[in-house]
Amino acid sequence: MSTTNSPLRVAVLGSRGKVGREICRAVEAASDMELVASVDAGDAIEALLEANAQAVVDFTHPDVVMDNLDFCVRHGIHAVVGTTGFDDERLATLRGWLEASPATGVLIAPNFSIGAVLMMRFAAQAAPFFDSVEIVELHHPTKADAPSGTARRTAELVAEARRTAGSAPMPDATSTALDGARGADVDGVPVHSVRVRGLVAHQEVILGELGETLTIRHDSLDRAGFGPGVLAGLRAIDDHPGLTVGLEHFLDLP
């Protein structure tokens, strides 16, 4: 990526999946990128070399993503990864590989929605200024897990910010309650999971103190919402060699 102004040569792994197709579309629509290879199950990954790809986007499967990344890092191809299943062991393995290829960057992000990333960041920043913080996440009723991963992560970040600030426990005078009425407790933060037909993926963080509340809400209505976050990752990856976890480190925020 030494030449400036020539479009970034991007390949998409998992290109026929639901998200992969949206990513292909977004890369093709970006004037500063070129989609040079689309690879899915059954295709040879060597296509990346033939196409001279500078960076890949990986939305594949936990079973194959490590092989993909091994190949990319060995060939000095940056990777922006939305595939799930990364535990400490996998991250350590990746760091080892990257030591041998110090100019290569890998971004692992559990969420490529810029709106969701900002919601989590703002919620954690605001939390120490308020007595109470609760989270309501709302999804379609075919979702298997409650709370959502984003809600759990938000609650953990809020709890950590409150611990660091030495916040007092949240006020709650509830003395008579039905089971479940006050939500799931995630690290001390109540989380409520609404499942209603017609919803897609939504979350509200409600922060309150005497006389006022601040509500930060994210609505994700379409998988196309991942596009801008993936493009932001691709644009910044050359400036971030090594392993990065979380899209927020690539956004230019104070």
Q: Which stretch binds its own copies (CB under 8 A): 59-67, 85-93, 96-104, 246-254?
A: 246-254
- Per annotation, catalytic residue among 61, 75, 143, 240: 143
- CA of residue 220 relative to chain centroid, distance: 13
Annotation says 139 is catalytic: yes
Residue 71 buriedness (CB in 10 A; 0-12 / 13-18 / 19+): middle
Range 188-217, binding its own copies (CB under 8 A):
190-200, 206-217
For the record, the structure tokens of 229 come out as: 């976050």
- CA of residue 184 relative to chain centroid, distance: 23
Q: State the nearest-atom distance from the C-beta of 58 to its own copies, in Å.
A: 20
Q: Does 144 bind its own copies (CB under 8 A)?
A: yes
Residue (of 63, 55, 80) closest to 245 by Cα position: 80
> Looking up tokens 């194959």, which residue turns up?
64
For its own copies (CB under 8 A), the number of binding residues is 78
Q: Does 169 bind its own copies (CB under 8 A)?
A: no
Q: Evaluate whether 51 touches 75 at the Cβ level (below 8 Å).
A: no
Q: Which stretch binds its own copies (CB under 8 A): 38-46, 94-102, 143-151, 234-242?
A: 143-151
Q: Does 57 bind its own copies (CB under 8 A)?
A: no
Range 65-84, binding its own copies (CB under 8 A):
none
Q: Does 173 bind its own copies (CB under 8 A)?
A: yes
Give strand pairing partners of 56.
Answer: 11, 79
Which contiguous run of DSSP H or E holds residue 160? helix 149-165
> Looking up tokens 């691709």, which residue turns up?
234
Q: Does 12 bind its own copies (CB under 8 A)?
A: no
Q: What values do phi and psi take at 79, rounded to 5?
A: -140, 135
Between 96 and 135, how does the x/- string for binding to its own copies read (CB under 8 A)? -----------------xxxx-xx--x--xx--xxxxxx-
Question: Looking at this protein, which amino acid is placed at residue 42?
Answer: G
Residue of 219, 238, 245, 246 that binds its own copies (CB under 8 A): 219
For the record, the structure tokens of 64 come out as: 């194959």
Q: Does 186 bind its own copies (CB under 8 A)?
A: yes
Question: Looking at this protein, which amino acid is placed at residue 134?
Answer: E
> Residues comprising the binding site?
14-19, 40, 82-84, 109-112, 140, 149-150
> Residues comprising the binding site for NAD(+)?
14-19, 40, 82-84, 109-112
> Residues comprising the binding site for (S)-2,3,4,5-tetrahydrodipicolinate?
140, 149-150
- Active centre residues (catalytic): 139, 143
